[in-house]
Structure formats: structure tokens, C-alpha cells
């Protein structure tokens, strides 16, 4: 009975093992990508932790929209403070509450009273911050339309954060925050964990950032439970205002506990549910804390993408790291992006499993940073900046997860040493082995013929055909990669947004196309010119390419400290080992001269030509490889004829015996088999030890081991397919929705195509052995997915298209316009569905947001009611309905010819107003009761400010802002006007506010006050926004353009 070798390098085995490998890896990667580890069955898995309470808290704070500029935001804040008190009381811990701390400014001294009931050594302190404020300048905001990009933005922000301090065993006693930092002991430092409890105006904030908020609340319960007190103190910051350009975390800088923070963990949400990923980290040492998580998930590629500016959006991480100098981590939910900042960011689209995934990572990370390991985060800074916390020097690192089960970490310098060593040793080791093979006359690569020098009759040279297969790999890769690129361009042209909702279809399309195209070239070339060196040549090409890439990766590691190239280091190591195996296989072959002698003699004499030792060695190798499958030479003289014997024996057994004979004749004639053999270039006959080569391959190849290919597959396949496949899906989730946001429509397809090619590299050395059945299946998959991708609608209820909404309102005239940003081909049909836009002219122009289009129409039919408490007569003219919405006054205490003015601003039902300057730049601004300008958040812009943005805690506070401007006009916006003498406001015939006075027209300041309303919980206040939500197609979701859903403006001239 013939023995079947399941590991032989034969078509069936190659098809089976490669298919099994890719199915196993593909299913595993998708499973990790699409599922979340389950939460414990016990809702109280740890002391002080209650997952049922956490879920109840999440549903409570996400019942309505709660941006900073909304009434429900205050309800959420009060609820959180109440729940924190309940948690501390339930744990029986001694705690106190601080309403304020040292004076923030002269006007706030009345708040600087310590709680009379406070305990000096309370185990927990709640800082109920209602006094902090910050004044700073930033670069231009993306939402600052019609603003000169050469100037900056000034901001005054009043904080309302909730800060909980959990005392550590090594912390100083008493109310240490009331002392100067230089009075603290050397061991006195701690770790911060941060989340924001405000949402955007168009989302409920379950994932962004409700899960982070309730995770911190439960973490507080754990560390205040008996027996869980940390060694180093913990600052739990629940900030209010992250969605307003990170101002909540900037306001934290005014708190006296801010210098206490040496390390931090920031919790964020940029999707809706799923796994929380390690976005980025400052250094290797703090990343070790996250590695303690039960289900770590993330890669250093994300951190490097932020560092290189490839990811533009930011989190509170940059404030803690860049402004305060702390070292830490950014952990966030990141998919699906289509639900980010929309109404789908609710508890229905997240889960208890996602909550547990973030909480468990938070808890283990904080345990590590607040424990013994926290001692290392002390010491001089490498940048010598004494204005930042002195927390030592971190090292760069490389990190990535394995299937969400464990985390790999290694220092970047160590990894660089590995890369450099591999860069040097891999070619040297291969050169050494090649030299040994050459010395033993067994280096068959690049050999055409070989001479025996002592031939026994006939020619003295034999054909090795060692060049066969050398050029196949580059040709096949060019064709297959070109096909994938062509498919990307095709989709970009005809259905560019299909990746938004059907990314897996695109993966299937490009994978099947690449596999089939590669197979056609490889299989076709091997059918015409079979070569046993095909596999080895592919590894030579792969080694050359990966070694070249390794040079670039190593340079990036050394010069730019970029670690994202770690998969290529692993790829090159695997490829080098596989090529080494291919070279070592050649030791099983006879010397080329021995083969030359053998090939020139009849089979009966061949054994005497090959040395007895060579034959013995090959016989042992044949036994290992299943030599029982070989055929012995046919002895025609001993073969008896019967009725089953063919009339013509179709194959000659030796090159010299090249004639066939009939079964019933003694006359010889040329056989058809011999003629066919000559067409192929040689006759297929057993090799030197009686083993046949595979399918007309070179005769000497019969001695090659038949199992080593599987070893190569196992070395190269799992690591390459896993790392590039997982990274590809990770980036696909991050990039698939960017085209709808105005970014390049080609980038997502290019990224998928690149990672498809990289993921399928392990199959390239073996694909020529695959029979036609599997490639034809891939061809069918390609045709089906291509048809679907070209005709399917790109959006659905689960993958909605986001449009950006804003309604503008002229407070002087009552005129209103609705502007919707998006891609024009989708925005126009959406507007056509809105009742208020019926029969209205829709005008579209390029948007200030990336490559989107802004389409606008008259909104007089859906005017906002921003003061529902004020009832106006039904016949009130439109131009008078909004005049009292914003109170505005300007004075010039230094005289009408000065370049300084004081603005007094108040607005109903809003906490946000902007001063926008049209023709000049402000060189200085001060807000009454505000702190001085804080240089930690950026320098004052060299060209001054185009805007001053104002945020307040109290709905009824009046902003008093002193502004100075330059004397040089920037861009005068109209004919100059004659102004009167008194420095008082008057209203012109066009409703524009002006200052009376006889001043130089060239020194006047022109601009407008713009106030924002963002509370969409009451449909009567913002009927236009609710109309868009109600009447838009099911595949549409609505999000905000900027700080306000409704923006009311009033012009001024000073």
C-alpha cells in the first residue's frame, strides 16, 4: 500500500495547509477586531466595584445631550458629585470636600474659604471646582471660518471640574495642597486618571466619554475600599469642557494639586463601543502599566501616527503631556467612527463588555502606577524645564498586543540593536552558507550548465537549468499589485465611499484579486518552465526587498525614534530563516559534477558513477521523505505482455534509450512519449537514487526534501499574516470613514491594498503548487465582491453618513440661514427631503472643513426660539425678535482716538460668545476676574488675535473684556465712515452698533459678536436641527460644525 505524506510539497498538501493557515489567522483577527471580552458574571467582581451601579450611572448621565453649554450638563455634574459621595460613604472612608483653594484672582477671594468640617488626614477629598479659570491663546481653530489664518485665537474659560484626591500611604499628611510644591517631600507625588463628562451637542456621550467617567467612579470605589489604599496618591479628574477644545483639562492647571501629578492615564472615546485601544504613550515605562491589563489592545503604530501628525484630532493627553510635562497613556474607544459625535453614541450602541474592558484596563494600569513602580517617575527632566513636573526620563519603546491576550514590550534602543544586528548578520550568514555550498559544488542557484571533465561518452556538460524561476516573483508581484491598485482606482472613481460601510467586502475583493493574479503568473510560468528552485528564488527576492526595507526602518528607529516599522523587522527575520532553509536543502543534492556524470550514462551504469557514500546519504533522505512513493526503473526485458499491455510503450526509461517498441513487434520506432519529452526539453526519469522529480522539474531536484516547505510556511506565515492583517484591520477601522469627512477618498483603498499584499507575502513561495480549483474560487469571490462594491449604496442605518449642521442668525435683521457641510452629491438630496427647504434656493460653495462643500438655504421657516421663557406677540417683526437676545456695549475709557476698548457682553441661555475682529488684530485682552495669560498652553501669536472666545460657568454673568489692537489696518471691510465725538454706542439705520466720536477712521475696529447655542434637548428652541434629524434619510446622522448649533451675530464698529 502506497504511503501518503501529508507534509510533502505537493499540490493537495500545499492547498490544504496554506488555506488552513489563512482561514485560522483571518478568523482569529476578525474575531479579535469585532468582539469584546465578556464582563464577569458577578456584578461585584472586586471590593468596592459594582458593575450594575456603573451601568445605571451611565444610563443616567446619557439620558440627554449634555455639552458644557447646556442645562443638563449641570444636572449631570450634580449627579456625579452626589454619587461620589455615596461611594465614599458606602466604603466607610473618611473624606472631605473642598469648595476652593488658594485665591485665583482678587475678585475670587471671597470663595477662598476652606471647609470648616474638613479633616486634616482625610483619605479622600472632593474638590468641587467652581472657581478656576484660564486665559490662553491657541492657533487657528478649524471651525473659525472667515478668519485670517495668520493670527491666533484668545480664550477665556471658566472651569467646573470635579477632582477627587485619594491619599496614598507615602503622601504627605494634612492639606499639603495648601503649601507650595517646593515644601512637599521628595516621595510626595502621584498619578492622575482623567475622563470628561461633557458630551457634544449632537451626541449622548455614552462612549465619548460616559464609559470613561463611570470607570473612574468605580475605580474610586475600589481604591477607597478597605485594604486597597494605594502607595502613591491618585487624582481622579472628571473634567468638563473637553469637547470645547480641551479647556476642561487646561482649567485643571489652576488647581494646586496639578504639580502633584507625575504620571497620568487619559480615558477617551472616539467611536461607539468595541474595545478600548491604547492610542499612544509617552514612553516604555508607563506602557508597562497598561501591559498589566487583562485584555490589552493596541500598537505603537498609533502612537507614532500621532507623533508624525498623521492623526490630527487630539485629546486631553496633549495637555497633560505637553503643557504639564506628565508622562502617561491615552486609552480610547476608536470604532465605529460613523457613530462618533452622533445620536448613536448612546448606551444601545455600547455594552457592559466594553465598559468592563475599559474599567479593567484602568484599574490594572492605576494599580501599577500608584504602586511600587511609581517610585521610578521622579527626577530631573531631560529637557531641563523647571516649569514642568520633575518626573525623570522615559525611554522609547516598541509594543503591540497578541490577539488581545497579552502585550509585548521592548525598548526601542534594544529593538534598534536587534534590527542593526539582523541587518548585518542575515546577509553574512547566508553568504557563508552559500560559500560552503559552492565549495561542495552544491550551489545550484544561478547555474546553467556544469561540466564533468571526465564524461563517459557523449557531451561533457549537463544542463542544470538553475536560472529557471528567477524572474517570476517580481513579474508576478508587479502584475498582482498593479491589479490591486487598479481596483482601488476603479472603486475611487465609481463608488468611492463603499468602504465606509463595507470594508470587509473591499478586503475580500482585493485579497481574492491579488491571490488569483499572483497564481496566474506563478502557475503559468511554472507550467511552461518547471523549476525546483522557484521557492528558493522567491525567498531570495523577499530577502532582498525586506533587507532594503530594514535599512529604512532602522534609520527611522535611530534618527526619528519611530518604532512603527517593527512588523518589517519580524518579516525580515522570518524571511532570512526561510531562505537559510532553502539553502540548506541544497546539501541533500549530489555535487553538480556527480549529477553531470550520472546524467550522461545509462541507468545500468549510473550507480557506478555516483559514489557509494552519496547514494547511502540520499537513500536515508529518501526514507525520511517517503521514498516509497518513488518508482523503480522499468526492466522492459522482464515485463511480460498480455491483453492489457499498450501497443506503444509511451515513455523511454533513459535518455539514451529514446525509442519505443510495440508489444507485438521486434522492430523499434520513435515513441510518442519520447517526442513529448523532447518538446519539454528532457525526459522525466528517476533521479540518481531512483526518486522521480516532480512534474518535469530538473532531474537533480528529486533529492530535495519534501517537508521543509511546511517549516518555512510556519515560520513566515503566521507572524506575517497576523501582524499585517491585524494592523490592516485596525487602520481600516480608523480610515474607512475619513473620506466622508473630506479627506482623500483613495487613502482607505490604498491602505487596504498595501496590507493585502503584505499579508499574502507568505503564500508567494508556494502558490505555484496550488491547483486551479482554489484560484477559480477566488476569481468568483472577486467578481461577486466587485459587482457589489460598484453598485451597492455606501451608507446604511448601521453605517450612517455624517453631515455637519449649523444655523446662523443675524440678530439685527432676524435673517437666518442653515448651512450643511458634506459631500455635495449627498447633501443636496438630503436638503431636498426637508420641509423648510422646499422650493428654496440652495447654494453650495467649498467648505472651510477639508474638502467638503457647504450648502445653505434660507431658514426663515424654522427660526430658533432661544428664549422660550419670553413670549413675544405673534405679529412681532422678524428684525425685532432677536435684538434682546444679546446685550452688548462698548466703551473707550482712554478716549475715542485710543486703540483700547472695553466690551460688556451678555446673552440669554448660553455660556459661549466670541469677539471676532474683521479688520485688525488684537494685541492684548483681559477679562475681568480672569487670571493672567498662561504661557503653558502656547505663546501669544506674533500677529495678534483674530478672535477672543469667552466661556462662563454662570448663565447670568456679564463678560467685561478689555481689548487693545494694532494701529495698522489689516483688511478694511468697506467705505470709511464719519464718527461722532462721545465715546458711546449708537445704532445706525442698518442696525449696526457704532461708537460716536470724531476719531481717525483708519484706527477704527470692526467686527462682530457671535454667541453660540448648543442645547438641543428642547425641540422648540432649535426646530431646524430637529427637522434635519427627523426628515433626513435613515442612512444619515447629524453632527455639529463648531461650538454652536445656532450662532447669532451682531456687528460692531469702534
pLDDT beyond 50 at 314: yes
- Which range of 451-460, 637-646, 954-963 scores highest in mean pLDDT? It is 954-963
Alpha helices in 136-241 (DSSP H): 211-223
Q: List, for residues 122-133, the tens digit of each pLDDT value.
A: 999 999 999 999
pLDDT the model gives residue 601: 63
Nearest-10 Cα torsion for 52, 57, 60, 63: -90
Length in residues, the chain: 1054
CA-closest candidate to residue 1050, choices 879, 808, 812, 806: 812
Q: Is a pLDDT exceeding 60 seen at residue 786?
A: yes
pLDDT value of position 755 = 98
Q: What is the mean pLDDT of residues 545-557?
A: 97
Q: Is 242 one of the catalytic residues?
A: yes
* Neighbour tally for 73: CB within 10 Å: 24
742 falls in which pLDDT band (50, 70, 90)? confident
Alpha-carbon distance of 836 to 407, in angstroms, equals 54
Position 678 pLDDT exceeds 90: no
CATH node for 51-140+159-395? 3.40.630.10
* More confidently predicted of 1030 and 595: 1030
Residue 360 and residue 376: Cα distance in Å, rounded?
23
For the chain, the farthest-separated pair of C-alpha atoms sits apart, in whole angstroms, at 133
The answer to whether 252 and 239 are in contact (CB under 8 A) is: yes
828 or 117, higher pLDDT: 828
pLDDT of residue 310: 82
Q: What is the pLDDT of residues 218-258, one digit of tens each?
A: 999 999 999 999 999 999 999 999 999 999 999 999 999 99
776: Cβ–Cβ under 8 A, 6 or more apart, which residues?
Answer: none
For 1025-1040, the DSSP string reads HHHHHHHS-TTEEEEE
In the predicted model, is pLDDT for residue 548 greater than 50?
yes
- 631 exposure class (CB count in 10 Å sphere: 0-12, 13-18, 19+): exposed
506 φ, ψ (degrees, to nearest 5): -70, -40
Over residues 430-438, mean pLDDT: 96
For the chain, the structural domain boundaries read: 15-40+478-532+717-793, 51-140+159-395, 880-1012
893 vs 156: which has the higher pLDDT: 156
Tens of pLDDT along 167-187?
999 999 999 999 999 899 988
Average pLDDT over residues 945-965: 95
DSSP strand E in 908-998: where?
Answer: 912-917, 922-927, 945-951, 959-965, 985-987, 993-995
pLDDT value of residue 572: 98
Nearest to 391 by CA among 291, 250, 261: 261
Place of cell 523549476: 531
Helix (H, G, I), strand (E, B) or coil at 342: coil
- DSSP at 310: S
**Predicted confidence (pLDDT) per residue in 554-595, tens digit:** 999 999 999 999 999 999 999 999 999 999 999 988 888 887
Contact 262, 378 (CB under 8 A): yes
pLDDT at residue 687 in the model? 54
Q: What is the distance, to the nearest Å, from the Cα of residue 972 to the centroid of all Cα atoms in its chain?
A: 44
Helix, strand, coil share (%) of the chain residues, nearest 5:
40, 20, 40
Give, in order, the Cα–Cα distances in Å from 602 to each of 106, 605, 607, 690, 696. 110, 6, 10, 13, 19
pLDDT bin (cut points 50, 70, 90) of residue 142 is very low
- Scanning the structure block, which residue is given the C-alpha cell 444655523? 807
Q: H/E element holding 11?
A: helix 11-34
1048 in helix, strand or coil? strand
Alpha-helical segments (H) within 833-894: 878-881
* Res 408: pLDDT: 96
The average pLDDT across 473-491 equals 97
Provide the pLDDT confidence category of residue 685 given band limits of 50, 70 and 90: low
Taking phi over 0 as left and psi of -120 to 50 as alpha, with beta for the rest, 872 belongs to: beta
Per-residue pLDDT tens for 108-118? 333 334 343 44
Over 90: is that where the pLDDT of 711 sits? yes
Average pLDDT of the chain, as a whole number: 86
The active-site residue out of 242, 244, 697, 1006 is 242
Amino acid at each position: 500500500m502506497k504511503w501518503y505524506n501529508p507534509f510533502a510539497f505537493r499540490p493537495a498538501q500545499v492547498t490544504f495547509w496554506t488555506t488552513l493557515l489563512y482561514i485560522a489567522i483571518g478568523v482569529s483577527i476578525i474575531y479579535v477586531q469585532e468582539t469584546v471580552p465578556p464582563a464577569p458574571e458577578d456584578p461585584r467582581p472586586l471590593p468596592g466595584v459594582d458593575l450594575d451601579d456603573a451601568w445605571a450611572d451611565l444610563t443616567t448621565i446619557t439620558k440627554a445631550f449634555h455639552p458644557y453649554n447646556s442645562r443638563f450638563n449641570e444636572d449631570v455634574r450634580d449627579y456625579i458629585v452626589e454619587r461620589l459621595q455615596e461611594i465614599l460613604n458606602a466604603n466607610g472612608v473618611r473624606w472631605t470636600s473642598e469648595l476652593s483653594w488658594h485665591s485665583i484672582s482678587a475678585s475670587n477671594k471671597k470663595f477662598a474659604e476652606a471647609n470648616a468640617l474638613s479633616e486634616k488626614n482625610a483619605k479622600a477629598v472632593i474638590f468641587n471646582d467652581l472657581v478656576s479659570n484660564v486665559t490662553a491663546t491657541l492657533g487657528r481653530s478649524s471651525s473659525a471660518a472667515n478668519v485670517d489664518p495668520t493670527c491666533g485665537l484668545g480664550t477665556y474659560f471658566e472651569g467646573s471640574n470635579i477632582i477627587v484626591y485619594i491619599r496614598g500611604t507615602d503622601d504627605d499628611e494634612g492639606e499639603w495642597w495648601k503649601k507650595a510644591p517646593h515644601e512637599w517631600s521628595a516621595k510626595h507625588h502621584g498619578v492622575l486618571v482623567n475622563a470628561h463628562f461633557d458630551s457634544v451637542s449632537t451626541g449622548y456621550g455614552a462612549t465619548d466619554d460616559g464609559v470613561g467617567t463611570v470607570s473612574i467612579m468605580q475605580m474610586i470605589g475600589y481604591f477607597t475600599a478597605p485594604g486597597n489604599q494605594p502607595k502613591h496618591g491618585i487624582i481622579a479628574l472628571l473634567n468638563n469642557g473637553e469637547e470645547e477644545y480641551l479647556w476642561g483639562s487646561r482649567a485643571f492647571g489652576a488647581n494646586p494639586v496639578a504639580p502633584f501629578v507625575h504620571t497620568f492615564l487619559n480615558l477617551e472615546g472616539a467611536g461607539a463601543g468595541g474595545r478600548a485601544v491604547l492610542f499612544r504613550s509617552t514612553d516604555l515605562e508607563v506602557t508597562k502599566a497598561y501591559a498589566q491589563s487583562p485584555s490589552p489592545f493596541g500598537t505603537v503604530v498609533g502612537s507614532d501616527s500621532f507623533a508624525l501628525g498623521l492623526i490630527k484630532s487630539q485629546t486631553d493627553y496633549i495637555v497633560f503631556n505637553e503643557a504639564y510635562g506628565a508622562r502617561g497613556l491615552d486609552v480610547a474607544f476608536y470604532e465605529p467612527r460613523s457613530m462618533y459625535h452622533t445620536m448613536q453614541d448612546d448606551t444601545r450602541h455600547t455594552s457592559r463588555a466594553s465598559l468592563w474592558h475599559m474599567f479593567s484596563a484602568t484599574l490594572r494600569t492605576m494599580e501599577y502606577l500608584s504602586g511600587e513602580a511609581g517610585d521610578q517617575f521622579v527626577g530631573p527632566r531631560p529637557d531641563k524645564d523647571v516649569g514642568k513636573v520633575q518626573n525623570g526620563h522615559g525611554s522609547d519603546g516598541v509594543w503591540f498586543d497578541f490577539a488581545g491576550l497579552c502585550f509585548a514590550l521592548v525598548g526601542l534602543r534594544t529593538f534598534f540593536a536587534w534590527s542593526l544586528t539582523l541587518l548585518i548578520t542575515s546577509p553574512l550568514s547566508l553568504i557563508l552558507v552559500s560559500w560552503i555550498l559552492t565549495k561542495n559544488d552544491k550551489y545550484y542557484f544561478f547555474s546553467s550548465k556544469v561540466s564533468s571533465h571526465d564524461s563517459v561518452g557523449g557531451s561533457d556538460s549537463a544542463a542544470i537549468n538553475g536560472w529557471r524561476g528567477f524572474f517570476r516573483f517580481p513579474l508576478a508581484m508587479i502584475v498582482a499589485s498593479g491589479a490591486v491598485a487598479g481596483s482601488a482606482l476603479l472603486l475611487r472613481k465609481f463608488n468611492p465611499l463603499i468602504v465606509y460601510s463595507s470594508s470587509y467586502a473591499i478586503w475580500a475583493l482585493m485579497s481574492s484579486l491579488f491571490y488569483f493574479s499572483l497564481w496566474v503568473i506563478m502557475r503559468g510560468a511554472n507550467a511552461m518552465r518547471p523549476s525546483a528552485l522557484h521557492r528558493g528564488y522567491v525567498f531570495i527576492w523577499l530577502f532582498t526587498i525586506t533587507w532594503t526595507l530594514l535599512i529604512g526602518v532602522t534609520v527611522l528607529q535611530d534618527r526619528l525614534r519611530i518604532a512603527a516599522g517593527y512588523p518589517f523587522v519580524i518579516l525580515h527575520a522570518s524571511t532570512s530563516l526561510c531562505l537559510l532553509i532553502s539553502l540548506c536543502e541544497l546539501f541533500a543534492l549530489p555535487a553538480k559534477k556527480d549529477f553531470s556524470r550520472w546524467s550522461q550514462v545509462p541507468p545500468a551504469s549510473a550507480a557506478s558513477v555516483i559514489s557509494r557514500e552519496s547514494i547511502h546519504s540520499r537513500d536515508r533522505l529518501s526514507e525520511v521523505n517517503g521514498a516509497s512513493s518513488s518508482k523503480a526503473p522499468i526492466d522492459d526485458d522482464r515485463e511480460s505482455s498480455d491483453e492489457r499491455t499498450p501497443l506503444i510503450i509511451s515513455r523511454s526509461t533513459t535518455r539514451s534509450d529514446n525509442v519505443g517498441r510495440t508489444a507485438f513487434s521486434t522492430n523499434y520506432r520513435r515513441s510518442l512519449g519520447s517526442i513529448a519529452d523532447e518538446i519539454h526539453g528532457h525526459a522525466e526519469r528517476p533521479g540518481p537514487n531512483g526518486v522521480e522529480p516532480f512534474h518535469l522539474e530538473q532531474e537533480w531536484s528529486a533529492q530535495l526534501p519534501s517537508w521543509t516547505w511546511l517549516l518555512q510556511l510556519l515560520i513566515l506565515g503566521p507572524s506575517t499574516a497576523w501582524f499585517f492583517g491585524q494592523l490592516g484591520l485596525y487602520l481600516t477601522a480608523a480610515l474607512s470613514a475619513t473620506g466622508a469627512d473630506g479627506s482623500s477618498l483613495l487613502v482607505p483603498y490604498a491602505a487596504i491594498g498595501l496590507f493585502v499584499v503584505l499579508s499574502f507575502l507568505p503564500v508567494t513561495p508556494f502558490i505555484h503548487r496550488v491547483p486551479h480549483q482554489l484560484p477559480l474560487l477566488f476569481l468568483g469571490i472577486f467578481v461577486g465582491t466587485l459587482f457589489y462594491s460598484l453598485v451597492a449604496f455606501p451608507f446604511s442605518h448601521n453605517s450612517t453618513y455624517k453631515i455637519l449642521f449649523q444655523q446662523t442668525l443675524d440678530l439685527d435683521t432676524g435673517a437666518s440661514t442653515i448651512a450643511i457641510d458634506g459631500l455635495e452629491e449627498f447633501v443636496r438630496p438630503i436638503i431636498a427631503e426637508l420641509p423648510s427647504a422646499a422650493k428654496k434656493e440652495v447654494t453650495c460653495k467649498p467648505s472651510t472643513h477639508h474638502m467638503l462643500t457647504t450648502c445653505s438655504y434660507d431658514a426663515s421657516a424654522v427660526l430658533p426660539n432661544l428664549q422660550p421663557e419670553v413670549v413675544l406677540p405673534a405679529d412681532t417683526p422678524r428684525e425685532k425678535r432677536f435684538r434682546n437676545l444679546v446685550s452688548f456695549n462698548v466703551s473707550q475709557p482712554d478716549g475715542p482716538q485710543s486703540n483700547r476698548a472695553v466690551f460688556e457682553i451678555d446673552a440669554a441661555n448660553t455660556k459661549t460668545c466670541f469677539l471676532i475682529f474683521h479688520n485688525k488684530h488684537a494685541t492684548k485682552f483681559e477679562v475681568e476676574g480672569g487670571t493672567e495669560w498662561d504661557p503653558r498652553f502656547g505663546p501669544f501669536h506674533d500677529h495678534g488675535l483674530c478672535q477672543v472666545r469667552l466661556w462662563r460657568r454662570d448663565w447670568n454673568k456679564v463678560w467685561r473684556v478689555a481689548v487693545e489692537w494694532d494701529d495698522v489696518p489689516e483688511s478694511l471691510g468697506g467705505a470709511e465712515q464719519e464718527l461722532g465725538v462721545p465715546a458711546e454706542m449708537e445704532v445706525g439705520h442698518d442696525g449696526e452698533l457704532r461708537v460716536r466720536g470724531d476719531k481717525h477712521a483708519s484706527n477704527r475696529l470692526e467686527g462682530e459678536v457671535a454667541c453660540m447655542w448648543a442645547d438641543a434637548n428642547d425641540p422648540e428652541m432649535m426646530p431646524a436641527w430637529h427637522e434635519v434629524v427627523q426628515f433626513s434619510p435613515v442612512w444619515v446622522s447629524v453632527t455639529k460644525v463648531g461650538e454652536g448649533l445656532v450662532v447669532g451675530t451682531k456687528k460692531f464698529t469702534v
